[in-house]
């Protein structure tokens, strides 16, 4: 550098007068110089020196050294340009501050997207949860509908229980005796029952009708067959207790047969009836 | 003429070989190239002035490259590599422009 610094300084000092001289001479003596190319170096203009050095080519030590250095420069230049231009990412030439800023922006964006993702996942979890809850509620409703239907007599029921057959040849069995039997069975835990094809529910009423018995207005005749779903081990003793239903009926000379069964089907149905006055208080 | 041929040969070789720039040299290569360009313009101007000396050219070429690389290296070590690189490029660019102006005066007489 020091060498080089020194050169321009010398040049600068010398340049102005020389150049003025050269241009003045160029204006005046230009044809002469062209006519005499072999003149002294001091009389040549820069252009002529350039042309002279370019053609004809001379092999000298200086030329070879300069050629070597210039080939090195050309090599480095080409390599640098190639490595710069074939870099596929646009970030390669970016400055550090730009890179930091881009990185920050990416971080922010990542953060935002992460937040959004979390929100959406939470929403999805809530939706799944609520859908599960709705499913559960529906299932419970169906279950409850079944239970209430059994109570109200709107659906058929099956399960373990007993069958009671009351054979009344003398026509002495009255409605109150059947009612006693039904109450006793209810007290023993009967869950669904029917008598001669009429479902017995909470609102069932019995009435005497000559030699028959009216159950909810349907006249049924002996033999009375009660199908009862409940725990057989509870139902049967409840009827057989001393002074109970069976003894009372046998005193009236009716025959009572009780059969336990694992599979009783109570398939007599009642129509569901909308109450006229009572409304659910939960609404 | 031989020098111009050398430059052409170097460019062609660089384009053909396409070597992978080693990571250690990568930050210094562009600055070294600019410094060498500065030396070449200086040499061209000296030639047009008729005071070209191959020894001066070689020394200035090599010292330019080495000093430029050294400055960048120092800047990297000090943590101001980017700024110092910019500074070196600006200085060298100014010198290249002034040399180019002198060359232009010689070649075009204007």
Which helix (H) or strand (E) element contains residue A70?
helix A61-85
pLDDT of res. A123: 95
The answer to whether B48 contacts A55, with C-beta atoms less than 8 Å apart, is: no
Question: Shortest Cα distance from B93 to chain A (angstroms)?
Answer: 14
Is A83 in Cβ contact with B10 (below 8 Å)? no
Of residues A44, A73, A83, nearest to B10 (C-beta): A73
At residue A86, the pLDDT reads 62
Nearest one of A186, A195, A227, A228 to A213, comparing CA atoms = A195
Cβ contact (<8 Å) for B3 and A82? no
Q: Which residues pair with A213 in a beta bridge?
A: A208, A220
Q: How far is B4 from chain A (nearest CA, A)?
A: 7
Query: ∠ CA(B3), CA(B9), CA(B11), 5° rounding?
Result: 105
The minimum CA-CA distance between B73 and chain A, rounded to whole Å, is: 16
Count of positions (residues) in chain B = 110
Across the interface, whether the CB atoms of B106 and A47 are under 8 A apart is answered yes
How many beta carbons lie within 10 A of that of residue A258, not counting itself? 17
Residue in A49, A68, A72 nearest the CB of B47: A49
What pLDDT tens digit does each residue of chain A (283 aa) get? 444 444 444 444 444 444 444 444 444 443 433 343 444 444 567 677 777 777 777 777 778 888 888 888 888 888 888 777 665 556 666 667 888 998 999 999 999 999 999 999 999 999 999 999 999 999 999 999 988 888 888 888 889 999 999 888 877 888 888 888 889 899 998 999 999 888 988 888 888 887 788 888 888 887 889 999 999 898 888 888 888 888 888 888 888 889 998 898 988 888 877 888 988 887 6
Contacts of B36 in chain A (CB under 8 A): 69, 72-73, 76
Give the closest of B32, B42, B54 to A7, CB-based.
Answer: B42
Chain A residue with the nearest C-alpha to that of B37 = A73
Phi (first) and psi of residue A37, to 5 degrees = -70, -25
Closest-CA distance, B31 to chain A, in angstroms, reads 10
CB contact under 8 A, A76 and B40: no
Residues facing A266 on adjacent strands: A157
- Residue A251: per-residue pLDDT: 87
- Distance, in Å, from the CA atom of B30 to the CA atom of A77, rounded to the nearest integer, reads 8
**Which residues, at least 6 apart from A4, have a Cβ–Cβ distance to it below 8 Å?**
B38, B39, B42, B56, B60, B63, B64
- Dihedral sign, CA of A239, A243, A247, A252? negative
Spell out the domain ranges in chain A. Answer: 2-83, 94-152, 157-266
Other C-beta atoms within 10 Å of A47: how many?
14
**Cβ–Cβ under 8 Å, residues A164 and A239:** yes
At a CB cut-off of 8 Å and minimum separation 6, what does B79 contact?
none
| Closest in B26, B49, B59 to A3, CB measured | B59
Q: Which of B30, B106, B108 to mutate to test the interface with A (most CBs of A within 10 A)?
A: B106
Predicted pLDDT of residue A43? 58
Least confident of A254-258, B18-22, B38-42: B18-22
Please give the CATH topology (third level) of the domain spanning A157-266.
Answer: Alpha-Beta Plaits (3.30.70)
Strand partners, A164: A226, A258
Quick one: DSSP state of residue B81? H
How far is CA B84 from each of CA A80, A149, A278, B49, rounded to the nearest angstrom? Answer: 19, 91, 94, 32
Distance CA A83, CA A71 (A): 18
Cα nearest neighbour of B4 on chain A:
A67
End-to-end CA distance of chain B: 25
The ipTM is 0.83
Query: Which candidate, A205, A218, A220, A216, places its Cα nearest to that of A173?
Result: A220
B42-77, pLDDT tens digit by residue?
A: 888 888 888 888 888 889 899 989 998 888 888 888
- The rounded distance, in Å, linking the Cα atoms of A102 and A108 is 10
């Amino acid at each position: 550098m020091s060498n080089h610094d020194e050169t321009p300084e010398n040049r600068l000092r010398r340049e102005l007068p020389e150049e003025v001289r050269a241009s003045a001479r160029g204006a005046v003596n230009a044809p002469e110089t062209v006519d005499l190319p072999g003149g002294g170096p001091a009389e040549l203009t820069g252009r002529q020196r350039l042309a002279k050095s370019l053609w004809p080519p001379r092999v000298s030590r200086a030329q070879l050294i300069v050629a070597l250095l210039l080939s090195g420069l050309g090599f480095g230049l080409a390599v640098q340009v190639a490595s710069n231009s074939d870099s596929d990412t646009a970030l390669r030439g970016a400055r550090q501050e730009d890179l930091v800023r881009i990185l920050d922006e990416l971080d922010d964006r990542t953060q935002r997207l992460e937040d959004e993702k979390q929100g959406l996942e939470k929403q999805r979890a809530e939706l799944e949860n609520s859908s599960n809850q709705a499913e559960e509620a529906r299932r419970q409703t169906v279950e409850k509908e079944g239970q209430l239907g059994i109570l109200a007599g709107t659906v058929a029921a099956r399960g373990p229980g007993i069958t009671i057959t009351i054979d009344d040849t003398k026509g002495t069995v009255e409605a109150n005796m059947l009612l006693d039997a039904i109450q006793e069975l209810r007290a023993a835990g009967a869950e669904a029952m029917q008598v001669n094809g009429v479902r017995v529910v909470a609102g069932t009423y019995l009435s005497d009708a000559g030699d028959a018995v009216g159950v909810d207005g349907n006249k049924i005749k002996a033999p009375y067959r009660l199908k009862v779903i409940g725990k057989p081990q509870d139902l049967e003793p409840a009827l057989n207790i001393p002074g109970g239903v069976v003894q009372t009926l046998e005193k009236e000379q009716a025959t009572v047969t009780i059969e336990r069964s694992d599979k009783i089907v109570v398939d007599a149905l009642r129509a569901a009836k909308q109450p006229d006055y009572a409304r659910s208080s939960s609404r | 003429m031989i020098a111009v041929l050398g430059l052409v040969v170097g460019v062609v070789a660089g384009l053909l070989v396409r070597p992978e720039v080693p990571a250690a040299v990568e930050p210094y290569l562009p600055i070294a190239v600019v410094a060498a360009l500065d030396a070449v313009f200086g040499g061209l101007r000296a030639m047009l002035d008729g005071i070209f000396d191959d020894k001066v050219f070689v020394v200035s070429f090599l010292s330019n490259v080495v000093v430029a690389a050294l400055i960048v290296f120092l800047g990297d070590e000090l943590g101001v590599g980017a700024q110092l690189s910019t500074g070196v490029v600006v200085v060298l660019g100014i010198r290249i422009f002034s040399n180019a102006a002198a060359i232009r005066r010689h070649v075009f007489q204007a």
